[in-house]
Each structure stands twice: as structure tokens, then as C-alpha cells.
Structure 1
């Protein structure tokens, strides 16, 4: 509403008017009787009603009946009988100006050109023939015509030059055109009163259920009343085609919508677009730059009485000059249109006005068109399509090349947030936390009626029995970004946000631990030479490199949830769970002096890159932690992580061999941990390496395990680890539980007697299950006619499965011999 924006809005309106795209017309509009203004088609929500339904309507104490088709009779002039019509909006009969029948319907041929008499006003109503509107097979085959209150009837009224009688005031009450009997009666109370009056006159012919769509305002929930009003419109036919092609023309695509599923919505809306009603009867907004010229000799002196008396100009002085040219020598009075512009008209100019348009500024030259627009998919047409249409027409190009649409946030149950349900989540309350009493207090300070308040309070008690914990901005931000995998809507569970707050704490503790290992005077090197590093350091750099690559690709493709998953997995499962644990022996004595230095350097590089990777998703905690990191030699860091370079991959860090070896180490550790269950006491373990006949796999596995005994011992929390081969299996004492890691590897862990029996039972159960699988497969393969009836491909697959099951059984039974 500032001067610059107001100037731009006026300029846009005037330019579009001079180009013939803005015009004024008397048409049916979607009228909101609560807001007392016209609203656009896309501000109307529709409720599908199958049968008689009672709905609450703003301004009415009792629910209003919908989904009912009521029939009544019009008496024909000259005692010719009656003609029965049906309607779901019987209150509009006060404005009926015709009855339409099909010209080929023999039932009404004798009534063509005759008149019916209105039961309340005595107005003569012509019987007209209209093959376009009337379906003789539907209802009675006769249709009441109310041109001022129905879109279809409006078109009939224009075709047959009928009278347009508006029977409602702007706040939805019957006006003087509706007759004194119902004057000032709210429209839905008039519905009941008119039905009763028709019954008294003997003209009511009953009712029946009727399936219908009811239009309601998306803002006020008021039932839309079609009303005939003079309004300003934008002709959208040509500019909508340009906006449509900008997205759908594959050979010359200028705008990309992400996710792609919304291209179909874009296409559907713009292909079926109607002219845009841009005037609103509100107090707040950009006033329309149009002045009405009232000539001294005009018969009708009311504002807007003559549609050709409007002049459009940037200010009153220019309007006066235009009026003087048009009405040379005549005396006149100028009155500015009191209406304001639809908020989406001024919002649609945003990409232009923010850069200084209509002035030819340096910013406009440098930055228009912009690159990416991020917004919610619910305003794709309200705002985004209007920006594209107006940007192309007034700015000469599309306003942005990409449109990223985020999901809409719902509650944990998938319900739309509503004050009356008590499920509205205020981001500030998630960030700072709030008690259940505080949530109740917020509701009580609103404008809910007592019944709605009671329902809302119960909803809060159910969803937030202990209030909402303090989560912080970072946890909320990370949760919302991770939720974007749900491209349509986010079912926001506060407990997930709480989980990320706890992860922030873990992140803080992990970095604090790492900093303690670096020491107060530590200065990291400028770079690393991976080949000189210990195995675990080579591994963490290699997986960090892959994480950097995956996150970069995810961000480039706007797959933000994949990016959060990748950065979370690296920090949680690779850096914290593995690397920080596996390097602890390097800091526990003097035996690993060189490894300790390498581990410190690698740890610093991991923290620096990891925090920069995480920063877009958790800006506050990463800034705080990054500032605590020491600076590397001969390198001045930026003042803030926010302006530091985002990590990029380093080719020399890639090491597939090391990653494969660590996969085997982790599988071995996982098997040992599964045997230990919840116990964390240090115990001895054995690893049995088997040689597979005709391959070197077993030998290679043995070499890997022997070379990484320290890592396995540390991660599995073992007191000792002995690597043996099959000839040495007798060396395993009794009282050990075992499990198979893979075909070349089994592990054994010492257990207490109480757990040994449990382990043996589990072992026997596993062996029994394998025997049953083998028995079932062998039975199916030995049925008569198997070789002839079963395809060769299926038989081969069954043989492979059988061999694999038998090999697995042998491994389990062999592993069990040491118990």
C-alpha cells in the first residue's frame, strides 16, 4: 500500500485498460453477503450434497436446508390452467421473469407466447421456448428463469431480452423488488416464508431430495449468492494462453513447476479460465483509478448509471483532461469509483514492483526475470498464474523460470487446521513451547462460540495432553523440510519435531566431544592426503563425499526431503555411531600418536563440512557450533557460516574398496551386537572365516577381518576378538552363542548361562524353520508331472533356491557345533 506499489498498481490498471484488456460490465458475480463484496471464481469452495442436508450458515441461528428440490405452480393468465416448475432456491422466485419450455415439448405447445401470473407481485411472466437450457426429460420440463440470480438464467435473459430483477440487498435480505410481504427478510428465512405462503395459496406441489453442489466463500463460509452487479474485469483469454504455453510447451518451456503433478492443475485452470473480476466492494485496498463523469444534462444522475461515462487515468487531473476531450464544452462532475482492486491484482505485480517497475531501474534490468518462486500449491492460481499473466504482459517476460510448491500443513491426523477443532499449531508455540493451559487461554481469547470452544478444548487435551515442548526454530525447520516428501500435505506430528530437537542436543554433544579431542590449541591442516590416513578416516571421508554429492543433487532437483535424509544419516549413523566411536582408542594411550593426529585432522574436516552441509536446514545451531571450530593454517575463514562456501566433492576422497571393507566390518559388528542384545559388558568373541570352494572369497574376507580387528573390537565393545578358520573351530569354548553373518563368516560371543539356553533355543528355531522351507520346496518339486508342466525358468529358480537353503542350513548347523 506504499506509494511505490500504489503507483505501479495504477500504472498496470491504466495500461491494461488502454490495451483493451480491462473493461467494465454488468454481469453476474459471486456475491458474499457477509463480506458484502464480489469474489472471484477460485475463491469459491464447493460442497457436494447428495440429499436433504442441514448446514450452518453465518448469520443464521438455525441450520439451513439444502439438497431439496421444491415444486410449485404458476397460474396461467386467462384461466388456461397452471404450469409446474421446480427449484432448489425457491427464494429466487421473487425475481422470476420468464418460464422456459422446450420448443419440441408437446405438453406445453399450447402455452407458447402465453403468460403466467406471479403469485406475490402479480407480474406477468412470459412462457418462452429455449432449446439450449431446457431438457424436456428433466423434472417437469418447465424451468423458472431468474436472470439476476442464476448464471444459466442470466444467459437465457440475454438471449430473450428479459427483465433482470435483483431481489436481494448486499447483505442478503429481500429488497423492495421482492415485494412488501417479504421485505428485509434474510434470504434463507424468506425461503421458509415463501414455501409457507405458496402452501397457503394452494400452489405448493411438494419436494424431493436433489443432488447438488453448493458454492461457499473460502474466507467467510457464506453461501454464495449470484448477483448482477457492474464490475471491472480483465479479459484473460489471450494472456491465459501465453501463461499456459509457458509451462506446457515442451519445445519452448519457459517455466517449470515442481512437483510436476501440479502442471495438470495449471493446464485445467487456464484452459477453462473466465474473465477475472477485479473490483471489490471493500474499505481496504488499492482504489480503482477510474472516474465516473456525471453530465449536467444526464437524465440519470446516479453513480454508474451510464456504462460509457467512465474514464480511466493515473490521477484526477488526467481524468479531468480526458473527460474534457470526450465531452467538449459540457459541464460535468467527476466521482472516483469507491471500489478497490482484488488483492491478487496488486499481488500479481509483485515480481515487477519489488524491482522498481514501472520505472526502468537498474534492479529491474539486472534481476527480471527472477529464478525461483517458492509458495504453497493452494495459491497456484490465485497468485502464481496471475503473476505469470501480468508479468508476461507488462514485463515482457515470465517473472521466474521455476515454481516450487510446498505442501500444506495439516494436523497429525491429516485434518485441516481449524480454530473450531482446536488443532491450529502456531509455529512460535512450537519454537518456544507452551503449556496445555496456555493453549486453552489462546482459544478462550478468540471469537469461538461456547459450543465450538468446548470442542476445541477437548481436541487440544487429546492432541497435546502435556502442552507442546520447547523445540526451537532449527528442529521445526528441519522437520518441515523433511516432510516435503509428502508433496500434497504435511500431517505434522509435534513428536517428530521433538525428536529433531533431541537430535540437536545430540549434535551439540557430539561436537563438544569432538572439540575435546581436538584440544584448545589445535590448528587443523589446510588439506588432507587420504592415502596416508588410517582406514576409518579414509572411510568417513569417502562416505562424506558421497553425502555431499547426494545432497547437492537433491538440492538442485528440489528434492529437499532427500537432502535432509542424507545429511541426517551421515551425521547420525556414520559420523556419530561409527567414526567417533571407532577412533576413541587413538586418544586413550600413547600407542597411536600418528593415528591420533590423522584422526584429529579428519574429525575437523568432518565437522567443518558436516556443519556447512547441515546449515541450510538448521541455521542457528550450526552457526553457533561452526564459530567454535578452530581455523585451518594459512586460511582466513568467512565471518559467518552463512556466507561460507557450500561443500563440494573432492575426487581424492572417494574410496570404494574401503567402503566395501567397512560394510563387512559393520555387518560383523551388527551380528555381534544382536547376540549381546541389551548387555554392554565387554566379552570375548570369535570370528569364523570359511573358504568357499573354487573361490578366493573366504581368504579375502579373512584378510579384511584380521586387518580390522581393532575396529570390530571397539564398535562391538569386545574384550577380545579371535579370528579362526574352519580347521580351528574346536578352539571355541562352550557357552558361546553364534550367528551367521554371510556364507563366508560366522561370529561367536560368550554369553552367561542364563542367556546360553535362550540362544540355543533361538538357534534350533532358526534351523527348524530352514528345514521346513526345504521340505516344502522339495515336496513341490517332486509332484507328478513337475518336469513336464513347470517352465524351465521356474524349475531353475527353484533349484537355486533349494541349494541356497541347504547351504544356509549347513552353515547354521556347523556354527552350532561349538555350543
Structure 2
């Protein structure tokens, strides 16, 4: 928030926070907070967030500030929070330290020009500059290399490997700094150096590099900071003092050339650290800051995972978590920001002594107030004055849960992390309501992006949303985000996926309107007092209620296990593949052709299935489910006012009917076979001849009783359907679609198709399908795939493999059938 306000301040008034002063700037941030607070609240409500708004709180409220202060003091007293002068991640734009979590690492493969805040021209990265240091009292030179030439000004050592014979004679000698008069640079031996990398000699800048920091401590080298807080070269930079650090990057290379010390420059893959908020290049700088010891905290966290007190999901993320804990550094919590919880620590200065000459780094005391700080250290009798530390603390806490779900980063459709500073953040309200491309561009101009970033963001918008963003609605956005949570990798946010879920919402709306229309068509439809079987249900109804019951059980289990993608997919599957595509279609025949008792039973089952589906969907689709549920007639004595407080569906033993599922799956298999054969071989003019042959008595009975259901589910093509018994001869002149081991569907084709042409077509399809099978097998058999990919994704990929194998086998059967037909 402060960075947004500061950017706005500069854009509008060309002022910085320092121009305003701390008090006025904080007032400005508070004004901004008040202005946008309600806008943010309204957006959350419009997005369907179901929250207890009476418990709304602001992180800077007095009670939270008091809690942060109390925790800080306790951790300081326990020695967990301490002060140290160490390397920190420094943002020169904000002039504050950052935690590792606030730094984005950009991978470069070679020379790359990047925009940096405060620079008119792009800055070169991804290159290794080689140059020579002259050896003191010698004509020799020692070649080293760096990706950050400006840091030469902070070099205080050169390291070589102790076993590297090329440099043995130089260890213990000194190199002469080419730009800082009088600075002698010791040459030391250290096994850290890789003699095979580069020249085998490494320049050491202890105050500006984490690895060099360790080398500097080991060899007692000088730590010389060369940067001011705002990224300029300070008084330790010789003739470059006052210049911007990346301007010096170029001028130093020219000066090396003039002195004959420049060697060359080569492409070099590297990682560039960027501030998450400002996109400035993060600089390692020595700063006295407040730190949290992480070792004991990490040990407790690791133990809790090993002991099973904390379960990490997905399981594949546990290894990443443990590796992260094993390499955890102490956490810098100081922030040089004016907006935030001020560190409750005070520095003691003794009267009569100059503040800069009393080694006062050790005179820090923590307390909720100055008086408490004094009392804790028992120095009340001393004549002292207190300076409150102006640092604010990075305070962020999460509720502890025994089951931890790894958070995913939301990225744009190109895989880049969404960031306000990149201009690729998608406003959820724009997805809900839709927005024209030009309006997207205009919003960029109204923001605080630099002109170069506006240009990049505009290009991204043109590529990602050439027609703007279509209106998708809240529920489609809500459902998409849940369905994206694989528990594995990050989310690549694609509006086309959301728009597809809008069509899903349309299907729910149309299906519900159909059911409501059928209920209203009855003179007075009264739902049964409770969900229960009457014994009059058809096979289709028993199947639908069984599938409904299974969906209830599986969705509830998935939610309890925090498998949110799985739960969303289960809701989608029940609506789409079971309720809409099957039972509602089948119900048309039941209602049109059934007796009064059969019609009433079908309507009661439609009501029950829709009622349960809407309540089951409510956590995923809050608005459309509420709207449609309100239109449903209530069961007698049910006075529930809102779907949001309706009892969530529970599995009921009475609806469990695996026998009905097996029997009805035969019907579905037959209708699928008919549609497939009709699409491929149905005559254009004449009526298609469909024959369904059962190979056992039970299947023959089911098929005979459900002939109208088969016709209802088989599409709109003209056809006549015959059911053959097990003892009937195999139909001649037909192509078969094997439904199962006990049923096959046939369509008469002899004399209507070119058999050789059909064999050729099927062979080409088989070749394509076989290639797809091999590709999918390689994917799921890769050891790395099993280790890294989420379980839900693995299940989906294995199902895809099974489907591909089935498809390929179907083409083989088709080829054999046509070959046999040629012989008839």
C-alpha cells in the first residue's frame, strides 16, 4: 500500500515521501486506505466471498498493533529476535529491506536488457565481464570476472584454490585496486573456489554478495559498502561518488579499457533478483537490522511433519517443504517503511557522549513503552535519553492448522507471476462483467506504471485479450479458481477457461428451468415430505438417485480432504454427464410415455436430483445455486430461508444401488454405441436399422424393458431398433459396436458403404490413436512424473491413457469387421 501511494504521489505531484515527511505521508496513506477500503469490500462481496463481516479488521488497528508489539517483546526476551549487521535484500526505490519472499528471481539465459526504475535506458544483465587486477610490485596480472562491474568498487579480496598451481606463488600477496587509491587487495586461498570455473580466481566483495560475505568473515577482509540507500555510489566509490549504480556499470568498463585492464565480455546465464513491489534490482547490502532466528522454529516444524502433527498436501510438496526448512536462513523483519507496526525497541544514548561514538549497537532494549524498556534493563538510575527505532516490522501471521495446503501463485496465461508492477494483473470484476480491450489499456494509463511497463503491459493485453475480456459472471470465476487448485504447480490464469465455465453455468440454468417447467406443468406439484424411495421408481430413476448419492459422498470426502479441484470436477461431472446429459434426457420419455404414477415418480426424482445438485454446488457456484434454489417449491414443513443455511447433502444408504448402476450402464452403453454408429454409417435418406443383441437372459430382459429409454438417449436420427435374444443368430451385413461382454449394438451397412474405403479410414485412425497411446504411456511411466505431479492429475492422465487404449482397440475391431464383411 505505501508503495502504491508513493508512486501515485510522484506521478501526480512529482514528490517523494521524503518531500512530505513521515507524518504527512502516513496521513496520505490513511486517506488512500479509507478511499479504497469500501471498494475492496464491495469487490469481495461481488466475487461471492461468504465472510462474517462483523469480524472485519484492519491490520493496523490498535488491538493488532498491541499484539504485534507483545509478540515482538516476548521473542526479543527469548533471544529469538536479535539485531545484527548483515546482508539484506535492499530495494533502492522503496529504500527498505525485503524478505526473500518479497523477491522474485528472474532467470536469464544470456545477455538481456532490462528496464530498471529510475533509468532512461535499459540496463545490461546476463554477461560476465572479465578484467585484470595488477599485482603489487610486479608486472603480473590476475584475471577475474564479474556480472556486476559496479561492485569492483567494493572489492577487498581475491580468492584462489589452495591446490591451484597457477596461483600458488600469488597467495599472500596483494593486488592494486585500479580506482581506489591506496587500497591493497589481499590474495587468499580458499577451497570454496572452483579452479575449473572461469579463470579459477574470484573477486571478493564481502559487503555486497552472500557468498563473498562468508569469505570475508573467514579471511578477516574489510567490509566496504559502496551504495547509498537510494542506489547511488557513496563516498567509498572514489571518483564515482554520487553516480547511479548502473550508470557506473558502464563507465567502469570504459575506464578499465582505458587502463588496459579490460579483457572481454561473454554471455552468462544468471538469476536477477527483482523487488516484487517495485521491480527494482534487489541489492545485497550490509545493514543493522532486526532478525528472527529460524533454526529452532524450522526444527519444530520439521518434527511436527515427521510426527504427523501437520499433514502437507499434496504429499509431493512435503519434500519441497522439508528441503526449504533445511536451508532456511534467519529472517530479516526490519522494514524502512513509514507505514507499519513500529518495532518496540529503543536505543540508549548516554548524556555527554556523542551518539556516533559510543558503540551503541549493543544498547538496544525492547519494551511495550520506553518506561518498560528501561525497567527491563534495570537502568532507571542512569541519565539517558531514548531514541525509538524508526524501523517497522514485517508482521504477517496465519492461523495454524493440522492440515496445510500449499498455496499456489496465480500467473497470467504466459506463465508470468501476476504483479501490479508488471501490469498483468487481471481485475476480477473485469472478468465478471467483461471489458473492452481499449478500456483495459485506459486502466493501465490511470495506474502508476512507468511508461516502459505500460508499453509492455499493453502488448500483453493485445495478445492475451484481442477482443477484450468477455462477460463471464461471478460463478464462472469462482468455479474456475477452485477447479484450478490442483495442489501441484502454480495457476496459469486463462480467461478462455473461465468463459468455458460460464457455458457450464448456462447449462445448469437451462436444465433447472426445464425441470421447474415440468414441475409447474402439473396442476399442483407437492414435493415429498422427505427424500425417500417409494418403490415405484424406474431403472433410470434408481440410477440417477444412486449417482446423486455417490456424488454427495465423493464431493464431501474431497472437501474434507481439501482436494478442491477434485470436488469441483465431481460437481461438474454430476451436473453435466449424469443429470443433464442422461437423466433429464431420459425423463422426457418417462414423462411423455408413462402412466400417471410413473410421471409423478419421475417428477419427484427430478425434484430431488435438482434440489441436491443445487445445494451440493452452492460452495462452488454461490449465486446461480441460490437463485435457482429460491425458485424450487419447498418440501412440507421446510422453512429454510436461504440455500446458504440449508443442510448440506449427506450420503444415504437407501439410494445406494450398484445393481441399478450396472443395469443402466448397459442402456447408456447401447445409446453411446448407437450414436457412434449413426454418426459414422447412418444412411442420409433412409431409416437406420439398429439391432441390439443380448448374450444372456438378464441383459435381454433389461434391454426389452428399457427400449424407450435407449431411443430417448440415442439422439434424433431416424432409426428402428430391434432387440435380439441370446439364441438369435448374429445379424448379417452389419458393423458391431461392442458395449460389453454381454451386449453388442449393430447397424446394417452392407451395400451402403465402400468397405475398402472404410478399412483405409479406420487404419489411419488406428495409426494416430496408437501414437497417442505411446506418448501417454511415456508420460505416466516417467519416474519424475510420479514424484512431482499431483495425485489428482496422475489419476486424470491414467484415465486418459485407458480411454486412448480403448479407442485404439475399437479401430482394430472395426477393421476386422469390415474385412469379415468383405467375405460374406
- Distance (whole Å) between structure 1 residues aligned to residue 441 and residue 78 of structure 2: 55
Note the 1:716-731 alignment, pairs <5 A.
Answer: 716=714, 721-724=721-724
- Distance (whole Å) between structure 2 residues aligned to residue 237 and residue 129 of structure 1: 31
Structure 2 match to 1:599 = 602
Relative to 1, partners in 2 of residues 1:476 and 1:737: Cα closer, same or farther, differing over 3 Å?
Answer: farther
Relative to 1, partners in 2 of residues 1:140 and 1:637: Cα closer, same or farther, differing over 3 Å?
Answer: same
The alignment partner of 1:583 has SS state of helix
Q: Confirm whether residue 533 of structure 1 aligns to residue 582 of structure 2.
A: no
Structure 2 match to 1:154 = 213
Retained in 2: the 8 A contact 1:684–1:749? no
Q: Confirm whether residue 613 of structure 1 aligns to residue 616 of structure 2.
A: yes
Q: How many residues align?
A: 712
Relative to 1, partners in 2 of residues 1:611 and 1:42: Cα closer, same or farther, differing over 3 Å?
Answer: closer
The alignment partner of 1:511 has SS state of helix
Structure 2 match to 1:482 = 483
Q: 655, 658, 662: which one pairs with 2:657?
A: 655
Note the 1:743-758 alignment, pairs <5 A.
Answer: none
Q: Confirm whether residue 761 of structure 1 aligns to residue 742 of structure 2.
A: no
Per-residue deviation at 1:687? 5.3
Per-residue deviation at 1:275? 1.4
Alignment RMSD, CA only? 3.9
Select the structure of larger CA radius of gyration: 1
Structure 2 match to 1:267 = 322
Structure 2 match to 1:546 = 550
Structure 2 match to 1:694 = none
Structure 1 match to 2:585 = 581
Structure 1 match to 2:701 = 703
Per-residue deviation at 1:124? 4.5
Structure 1 match to 2:333 = 278
Q: Confirm whether residue 518 of structure 1 aligns to residue 519 of structure 2.
A: yes
Q: 323, 331, 335: which one pairs with 2:387?
A: 335
Post-superposition CA distance 1:794-816 (Å, at most 9, x none): xxxxxxx99x96997499749x9
Note the 1:198-217 alignment, pairs <5 A.
Answer: 198-204=256-262, 206-207=264-265, 210=268, 212-217=270-275
Structure 2 match to 1:70 = 130
Retained in 2: the 8 A contact 1:530–1:538? no
Note the 1:155-170 alignment, pairs <5 A.
Answer: 155-170=214-229
Structure 1 match to 2:343 = 288
The alignment partner of 2:402 has SS state of strand
Q: Confirm whether residue 32 of structure 1 aligns to residue 91 of structure 2.
A: yes
- Distance (whole Å) between structure 2 residues aligned to residue 155 and residue 684 of structure 1: 85
The alignment partner of 2:356 has SS state of coil
Retained in 2: the 8 A contact 1:739–1:812? no
Per-residue deviation at 1:671? 3.2
Per-residue deviation at 1:594? 0.9
Post-superposition CA distance 1:748-775 (Å, at most 9, x none): 779xxxxx899533698359979x99xx
Structure 1 match to 2:19 = none
- Distance (whole Å) between structure 2 residues aligned to residue 744 and residue 810 of structure 1: 22
The alignment partner of 1:302 has SS state of helix
Retained in 2: the 8 A contact 1:70–1:90? no
Retained in 1: the 8 A contact 2:480–2:498? yes
Q: 136, 142, 154: which one pairs with 1:84?
A: 142
Per-residue deviation at 1:706? 1.4
Retained in 2: the 8 A contact 1:25–1:233? yes
Structure 2 match to 1:306 = 360
- Distance (whole Å) between structure 2 residues aligned to residue 764 and residue 145 of structure 1: 75
Relative to 1, partners in 2 of residues 1:294 and 1:605: Cα closer, same or farther, differing over 3 Å?
Answer: same
Structure 1 match to 2:295 = 237
- Distance (whole Å) between structure 1 residues aligned to residue 402 and residue 731 of structure 2: 70
Per-residue deviation at 1:595? 0.6
Note the 1:180-199 alignment, pairs <5 A.
Answer: 181-199=239-257
Relative to 1, partners in 2 of residues 1:649 and 1:766: Cα closer, same or farther, differing over 3 Å?
Answer: farther
Structure 1 alignment gaps of length 5 or more = 352-398, 692-696, 751-755, 774-800
Retained in 1: the 8 A contact 2:626–2:644? yes
- Distance (whole Å) between structure 2 residues aligned to residue 428 and residue 286 of structure 1: 31
- Distance (whole Å) between structure 2 residues aligned to residue 726 and residue 760 of structure 1: 28
Structure 1 match to 2:403 = 402
- Distance (whole Å) between structure 2 residues aligned to residue 134 and residue 516 of structure 1: 79
Relative to 1, partners in 2 of residues 1:119 and 1:685: Cα closer, same or farther, differing over 3 Å?
Answer: closer
Per-residue deviation at 1:619? 1.1
Post-superposition CA distance 1:553-574 (Å, at most 9, x none): 2223322222222222222222
The range that moved more, 682-691 or 146-155, is 682-691
Structure 2 match to 1:665 = 667
Question: Structure 2-normalised TM-score?
Answer: 0.77
Retained in 1: the 8 A contact 2:86–2:289? yes
The alignment partner of 2:403 has SS state of strand
Structure 1 match to 2:631 = 628
Structure 1 match to 2:441 = 440
- Distance (whole Å) between structure 1 residues aligned to residue 627 and residue 451 of structure 2: 47
Retained in 2: the 8 A contact 1:686–1:723? no
Relative to 1, partners in 2 of residues 1:182 and 1:457: Cα closer, same or farther, differing over 3 Å?
Answer: closer
- Distance (whole Å) between structure 2 residues aligned to residue 737 and residue 805 of structure 1: 13
Retained in 1: the 8 A contact 2:96–2:336? yes
Q: Confirm whether residue 317 of structure 1 aligns to residue 377 of structure 2.
A: no
Structure 2 match to 1:569 = 573
Q: 701, 706, 711: which one pairs with 1:713?
A: 711
- Distance (whole Å) between structure 2 residues aligned to residue 422 and residue 627 of structure 1: 41
Post-superposition CA distance 1:437-487 (Å, at most 9, x none): 222222232344555544543433343233222211111112222233373
Retained in 1: the 8 A contact 2:485–2:564? yes
The range that moved more, 429-438 or 667-676, is 667-676
Relative to 1, partners in 2 of residues 1:271 and 1:710: Cα closer, same or farther, differing over 3 Å?
Answer: same
Per-residue deviation at 1:33? 1.7
- Distance (whole Å) between structure 2 residues aligned to residue 75 and residue 105 of structure 1: 18
Retained in 2: the 8 A contact 1:567–1:613? yes
Higher relative contact order (CA 8 A, sep 6+): 2
The range that moved more, 560-569 or 311-320, is 560-569
Relative to 1, partners in 2 of residues 1:407 and 1:239: Cα closer, same or farther, differing over 3 Å?
Answer: closer
The alignment partner of 1:219 has SS state of coil
Structure 1 match to 2:17 = none
Note the 1:485-500 alignment, pairs <5 A.
Answer: 485=486, 487-500=488-501
Structure 1 match to 2:26 = none
- Distance (whole Å) between structure 1 residues aligned to residue 609 and residue 131 of structure 2: 78
Note the 1:668-817 alignment, pairs <5 A.
Answer: 668-677=670-679, 688=691, 690=693, 697-716=695-714, 721-724=721-724, 739-742=736-739, 759-761=752-754, 765=758, 809=817, 813=821
Q: 59, 73, 77: which one pairs with 2:118?
A: 59
- Distance (whole Å) between structure 1 residues aligned to residue 649 and residue 510 of structure 2: 23
The alignment partner of 2:73 has SS state of helix
Structure 1 match to 2:154 = 95
Q: 396, 399, 406: which one pairs with 1:347?
A: 396
Structure 2 match to 1:781 = none
Per-residue deviation at 1:419? 6.7
Relative to 1, partners in 2 of residues 1:594 and 1:682: Cα closer, same or farther, differing over 3 Å?
Answer: farther
Structure 2 alignment gaps of length 5 or more = 1-59, 767-808
Retained in 2: the 8 A contact 1:47–1:213? yes
Question: Structure 1-normalised TM-score?
Answer: 0.78
Retained in 1: the 8 A contact 2:84–2:288? yes
Retained in 2: the 8 A contact 1:540–1:579? yes
Relative to 1, partners in 2 of residues 1:598 and 1:32: Cα closer, same or farther, differing over 3 Å?
Answer: same
Retained in 1: the 8 A contact 2:162–2:191? no
- Distance (whole Å) between structure 2 residues aligned to residue 317 and residue 632 of structure 1: 67
